Structure 1
Amino acid sequence: MLNKRRWLAAGAALAVVGGGIAVAQTATAGPAPRTCPTLKVSKGWYGENRAKLQKMIDEHGVCSGSDGARPVATFDWDNTVVKNDVSDATLAWALRHDKLLQPKSWQATNKWLTEDAHRALTKTCGTSVPAGRPLPTSRNTACTDEILDVYQDAKTSTGKTAFVGEWNHRRTVPEYVWITQLFAGHSPATLTSYAKQARAENLKAPLGTEQTVGTHKMAGYVRYYVQQKDLIRTLKAAGFNVYIVSASSEPIVRAWAPGVGIDRDHVIGIRNLVSDGRLTTGVQGCGDVKDAHGEVLTYMDGKRCWINQEIYGVKGAKAWQQQDRAHRVTFAAGDAETDVTFVRDATAGRLAINRNKAELMCRAYDNSDRRWLVNPMFIEPKKRKTDPYPCSTTGYTKPDGTLAPVHRPDGSVIPDQQDTVY
C-alpha cells in the first residue's frame, strides 16, 4: 500500500477543469529502492563468510519482503561474542575482592560435590568466618586455590575427584552449576554489579593479560568481537529478534550484553532460584524438569529447551524436541559442544567459531545441508588441529557421558573431518 500511494503521488496530479477531472501527467518514478542493513566490518571474516552472512540477512530480514513473524537469531556468549569467559572473569574479581560468602556447609552448595571436596574446602577456607559473611579469599591463598581447583579441574588440590554421581551429560555439568552456586546469598543485582566491575577491569587490560588469583594464572582480559557486534547490529536493523543464550549465570551476562545492544529481556542464562531477594543454590528447571539443583542448564540440549520454552512458548517435555521450522531460530552462532544442539536447530545459517571442539566442528565441517559457516576465533585464533576430528568414533557425548559416533539427521555417521579453517 505504501508503494502504491507513493507511485500515485509521483505519477499524477489531479485538477478539476470545467466540471470534469483532467489528469496532468508528470514524470513518473518507480518505488524507492530499499536500504538493506549491511555488515560494515570485513576484517576477520574467513573466505566468503561475510558475503554468505549478508545473503542470509537479505533473504530473511526486512529486504526479503516477507510479512511473516520476525526471524530469530541466537548467540552463545563466551568465546562467541566475546573473547574469553565472563564467568571466569567475575569469579576471579570476586575472589580478589572477598565477595564470596561462607556457606553453611560446602557439601550443601552442590548435590554432586564429594566428601573429599567438602573436607578440602572446609579445611582450607576454615570455619572461623560465620555463614553468610565474606571469605577472605584475597588473603587466604589456600582457600582460593582450592575453589579454583574444584571449579577448573573438578578435582581437589590433592587430585581427588570433586564431583560424583549421575547427571545427564547433554544437559548439565556440575562445575558449571557450582560457579553460580558460589554466589548464593547475594542479590541478582549485586552479582550484576560485581560483573560490571570485572567487565571494566577486563576491558581496560591489554590483550594477552594474565592475572594471578591465589597461585593460579587466569586470563585477565576480555574483548567484544567487533565482527560479532557488527553482525548483531545488522541483524537487529534487518528485523531479527536477537537473543543471547549462555551457560554463564544470567545476572553476569546481563552486565555485558548491553555492549552489543542486547537488553536484559533478551538474555537467557543459568537462572538460580531467588529467595527473599537473594540467590540460592537452587536452579530453575526447563521443560518437564522441575526447579531443583541444576539438573538442567542452558547447556547443550538444555539450550534448545530454554530457547523453545522462553522464545517460542513450548511447554513440558516437548521443549526438549526439535520444533517445526516455523518455531526454530533462523540463525545461530556458537563455539563449543555446549552450543551444538541449538546451533544445528537454526534453519538458515549456523556459525561455528573454531575452538577445536569435536562435535560442533564435526557437524560444521560435514555441512551436510550447506547451512554451516566456520570461522577462526577473531582474537588469538587456535592453531590448526593436526589430527582429524574423531567424528566416526568418539565425537558425540551421550547422556551417560560415554562417547560415540556423530550422526547426521538421516542417521548416517559423519566421517572424520580435517581441520581446514584456522
Structure 2
Amino acid sequence: MLTKRRWTAAGAALAVLGGGVAVAQTATAGPAPRHCPTLHVTKGWYGDNRAKLQKMIDEQGSCSGSGGAKPVATFDWDNTVVKNDISDATLAWMLRNDKVLRPASWKATNKWMTHDAARALTKACGTSVPAGRPLPTSTDTGCTDEILDIYLDAKTSTGKKAFEGEWNARRTVPEYVWITQLFAGHSPARLTAYARAARAENLAAPIGTEQKVGTHTMEGYVRYYDQQRDLIGTLKKAGFDVYIVSASAEPLVRAWAPGVGIDRDHTIGIRNLVRDGKLTTGVQGCGDVKDTNGEVLTYIDGKRCWINQEIFHVKGAKAWQQQDPAHRPAFAAGDADTDVTFVGDATAGHLAINRNKTELMCRAYDNADHRWLVNPMFIEPKKRQADPYPCATTGYTRPDGTLGPLRRPDGSIVPDQQDRVHG
C-alpha cells in the first residue's frame, strides 16, 4: 500500500510535469525549504524543463519533509548521461590495440550467428592465431572490418545476414549480445581497465572527432553531459537512490559511472557469466529466465526486469510486470526505444532525450500521464524530424520483431506525433 507521502508527492508531480492538471489542486506539499538541493546548470535545458525537474526533486526528495523510503531514480547511460556510446568506444579501442581474443569457434560465440557470418569471420581473421590469443586487428583491416560490419549492421561485408532464428525483440537483440561476447576471455577487471583507457582517449578528443577503425569511420569522442551530472548529483543530495541501467556490458559502465558519482552497487548492465575469473559468452538471466546465451538483456522490457529484480527485489516471472507505484522508480531518463519501458514505469517524471527514436518519442509526445519531459541532446542535438512519428501504425515493436500500432494502457492507439522539441 502506498504511504500518504507517496500519494502526496505523486499528485504534486502531476502538477509539476503536467503543467497544472486538476489533481494538482489537491497536493498538500508546501513551498520547498530554501536549503533544498538545487540544480545549477541552466544551459541546455529546453523551455521550463529545468524548473519542472527542480519542482519534482523538491516534492519527491528528502526536503519535502515527509520521510519514508528513498525515492529511486534510474538513468540509461549511452547518449543519456554521456554523448556517444561507450561500447562502441571500447570496442574501437580494443580493435586498434589488439585486445580482441580469437575464439575457438566464431559460430559458438553467439547462438544466432549464421554460418555465413562465421565463415566470413574465419576467412577474414584467419586461423594462424591460436584460440584465446589476441587478433592483430590494429593492422589486419579485413578482420577488423568484418567484426565491425557484423556488429554495426548485423550483416557480413558481402551483405549476408549475420544472425537468424527467433528471439524476443523486447528482451534482446543478437548484435548487442555479440559485442559482450567479443569480450570473452578477459577478466571483468581487465575489461574495465580497457574501458578506462578508451574513456581517457575519448574524453581528451575534441567534440566532433572521428576515428578510423579498419576502414570504418566511427565517433572518436565521448562527453559527460554537464546537465545530467548536475541532475544526478542534485537527486542524490535530495535523498534519491540513483542507478544506472545500461545495455552496455557492466564492466564498461563501471569505468565511466564514477564520473557522475555512481558506484558499482548502483550500476546495472549486461552481465556475462564468469568462469575461472574470465568472462564467457553466457549471459545472466532475469526474473524466471535462467542464465542464457543472451535471450535476456538490459534491453527494452529487460530493463524493467532488472530494475524490479535488483532494486526492488521482485523475483520470478513477476519481475517482468509493471509493479505498484511504491515499487517503481520515481524518476527515469533515457534516449532510445531500448529505454521506453523503464522510463515509462516512473511514477513522478520521465525524461526523454530526443534522438528521434520512434517508440520513445511517441510515448513522450503523447504524454498520457502529463509527466513526460522532452529535451534535445545537449551536444550536437538532432534537427527536427520532418515527418510525424508513425505511432498509430508502426510505433510499437512486437516481441516477434514486427511493428504495429502503439497503444496506451487503456488500449487506445497513440496518434502520430509531430517532432516538437529539437535542436
What TM-score results when the alignment is normalised by the length of structure 1?
0.92
Matched, 1:67 2:67: yes
Give the number of aligned pairs.
391
1:284 maps to amino acid = Q
Residue type matched to 1:140 in 2? D
Aligned to 1:100: 100
Query: 1:395 matched to which residue of 2?
Result: 395
Q: Secondary structure at the match of 2:356?
A: coil
Root mean square deviation, CA, Å: 0.8
TM-aligned CA deviation for residue 261 of structure 1: 0.3
Please state whether the residue corresponding to 1:332 is helix, strand or coil: strand
**2:141 corresponds to:** 141
Distance, in Å, in 2 between the alignment partners of 1:331 and 1:238 is 13
Secondary structure (helix, strand or coil) at the match of 2:269 reads: strand
Residue 258 (str. 1) matches residue 263 (str. 2):
no
User: Does 1:309 find its partner at 2:314?
Assistant: no
Residue number in structure 1 paired with 2:161: 161
Report how far residue 246 of structure 1 moved.
0.1
Larger of the two Rg values belongs to structure: 1
Match of 1:282 in 2: 282
Moved over 2 A (4+): none
Matched to 2:360, the amino acid is L
Contact 1:83 1:225 in 2 (8 A): yes
1:420: how far off?
0.4
Contact 2:33/2:63 (CA < 8 Å) preserved in 1? no
How high is the sequence identity, in percent, across the aligned residues?
Answer: 82
Shift of 1:66: 1.6
Aligned-partner Cα distance in 1 for 2:335–2:358? 10
Name the counterpart of 2:240: 240
SS state of the match for residue 196, structure 2? helix
TM-score by length of 2: 0.92
Of structures 1 and 2, the one with the larger relative CO (CA 8 A, separation 6+) is 2
Q: SS of the counterpart of 2:391?
A: coil
Deviations 1:102-149 (A, max 9, x none): 100000000000000000000000000000000000010000000000
Q: Distance in 2 between matches of 1:233 and 1:186?
A: 33
| 2-structure distance, mates of 1:296, 1:368 | 28
Query: Structure 2, unaligned stretches of length 5 or more?
Result: 1-31
TM-superposed CA distance for 1:332, in Å, is: 0.1
Structure-to-structure mapping, 1:108-187, within 5 angstroms? 108-187=108-187
**Per-residue CA distance 1:279-330 (angstroms, 9 max, x = gap):** 0000000000110100000000000000000000000000000000000000
2:207 corresponds in structure 1 to 207
8 Å contact kept, 1:82–1:224: yes
1:197-216 deviation per Cα after TM superposition (whole angstroms, max 9, x unaligned) = 00000000000000000000
Equivalent residue of 2:119, what SS? helix
CA distance in 2, matches of 1:230, 1:329: 19
Structure 1's unaligned 5+ residue stretches are 1-31
1:97 is aligned with what amino acid? N
Q: What CA distance in whole angstroms lies between the structure 1 residues aligned with 2:299 and 2:84?
A: 17
Q: Secondary structure at the match of 2:129?
A: coil
* Aligned position for 1:20: none
Q: Residue 128 and residue 241 in structure 1: after superposition, are their counterparts in 2 closer, same or farther (change >3 A)?
A: same
User: C-alpha distance in 2, partners of 1:373/1:63?
Assistant: 23
CA distance in 2, matches of 1:179, 1:303: 18
Structure 1 residue 292 corresponds to structure 2 residue 309: no
Q: Secondary structure at the match of 1:168?
A: coil
Q: Tell me the residue number matched to 2:346.
A: 346
Once residues 319 and 283 of structure 2 are traced to their aligned partners in structure 1, the CA distance between those partners, rounded to angstroms, is: 18
Alpha-carbon separation, structure 1, partners of 2:77 and 2:86: 9
Q: SS of the counterpart of 1:201? A: helix
Distance apart, 1:34 and its partner CA: 5.2
- How far apart in 1 are the matches of 2:107 and 2:356? 34
Cα distance in 1 for partners of 2:66, 2:195 equals 40
